[in-house]
Amino acid sequence: MQAAPTADGADGAAVAYVQGVADAVQGSAACPTPAQRSAELPRVVQAYLAANPGLGAQPAAAVVRDALRRAYPCKGR
């Protein structure tokens, strides 16, 4: 099964993956607000990858976690 592109043309499977990792790390490694989670997260990860091209060989979940942690640090952690 292949995910359909989102309304903004993003790959639906990639968006779902990022949101799944975000769910897994919510409150521990990253703390985006519900409003930020809607469409912003995939763009944050894409920008992080663009700024760090050497990360392409790293495990995808770790890259997504690190991108989200940098963009949405949890206060007090």
Q: Pick the residue with more confidence: 4 or 26? A: 26
Exposed, middle or buried: residue 25 (CB in 10 Å: 0-12, 13-18, 19+)?
Answer: buried
What residue numbers bound the domain in which 46 lies?
12-71
Q: Is residue 57 part of a domain?
A: yes
Q: What is the pLDDT of residue 3?
A: 43
* Residue of 69, 34, 28, 19 lying closest to 48 (CA atoms): 69
The pTM of the whole model exceeds 0.85: no
Structure tokens that stand for 26 in this block: 């919510």
Q: Pick the residue with more confidence: 74 or 37? A: 74
Q: Is residue 27 part of a domain?
A: yes
* DSSP 3-state of 26: strand
Q: Is residue 51 part of a domain?
A: yes
Domain count, the chain: 1
At 8, is the pLDDT very low, low, confident or very high (cuts 50, 70, 90)?
A: low
Q: Is residue 1 part of a domain?
A: no
Q: Is residue 41 part of a domain?
A: yes
Q: Is residue 49 part of a domain?
A: yes
